[in-house]
A and B are shown apart, each in its own frame.
Chain A
Amino acid sequence: AQTVTQSQPEMSVQEAETVTLSCTYDTSENNYYLFWYKQPPSRQMILVIRQEAYKQQNATENRFSVNFQKAAKSFSLKISDSQLGDTAMYFCAFMKHGVTSGSRLTFGEGTQLTVNP
């Protein structure tokens, strides 16, 4: 079974600054996907960024980037130029890859990020 751990229940950052959210996971799989989801107060789950485990290059999406360390099973999210609208709960998630494994998501506990003006 896979586990995902987010050790930072809460974080805060000043507007326009950079913040990094941490995530570690445990799996015996070699092929998988990792994700960061954002859940604002509206509680809608929004996909922020994804990383394929077979890709060495770290994924980036505008102000969001990841630091994927496969050997260390670490997957952190960096948010640059933080904006007030980034205030939300952020979930790290794992998905196995393959034709027989299905595509269920396993989530971490979440990190509540607050961006202060």
Chain B
Amino acid sequence: DAGVIQSPRHEVTEMGQEVTLRCKPISGHNSLFWYRQTMMRGLELLIYFNNNVPIDDSGMPEDRFSAKMPNASFSTLKIQPSEPRDSAVYFCASSRGAYSSSYNEQFFGPGTRLTVL
């Protein structure tokens, strides 16, 4: 069984460029989460989707960030224009459901290390 797939694994870009990070959740999972990890702020949730619908985007830092989930098997996180302070590791995670009376484990992808010069 394939886990959560993220691409690219590493991205180096220049300030001002558009960056698109991609995520394929585990088949059958209907919740998807984007987290960002930095030295200064640690691990923080940016946005999460349930059944392809954004539920909570309060963690998205600013309008330069946008996320989409056009179908159950694909999500993107876009930064436009990128800035050096966006340099971080971006994780995607998926689980069987965000709304449940029982526990649903989140499975994390390998992360994308983004460097903005």
User: Residues of A with Cβ closer than 8 Å to B?
Assistant: 33, 42-45, 47, 50, 52, 91, 97-100, 102-110
Contacts and interface: CB of A to CB of B under 8 A. Distances in A.
Interface stretch (B16-24, B69-77, B78-86, B104-112): B104-112
B42 A109 contact: yes
Interface of B: 31, 33, 35, 42-45, 48, 50, 55-56, 89, 91, 93, 95, 97-101, 103-106, 108, 110-111, 113
B42 A43 contact: no
B103 A52 contact: yes
A103 B106 CA distance: 9
Contacts, number: 56
B106 to A, nearest CB: 6
Main secondary structure of the interface of A (DSSP, over half): loop
Main secondary structure of the interface of B (DSSP, over half): strand
Nearest to B43: A107
Contact of B91 (A42, A45, A99): A45
A91 B95 CA distance: 19
A50 B31 CA distance: 19
Q: Would you list the 9 A-B pairs with minimal beta carbon distance, nearest first?
A: A45-B108, A107-B43, A102-B98, A104-B45, A103-B98, A109-B42, A99-B99, A43-B111, A44-B110
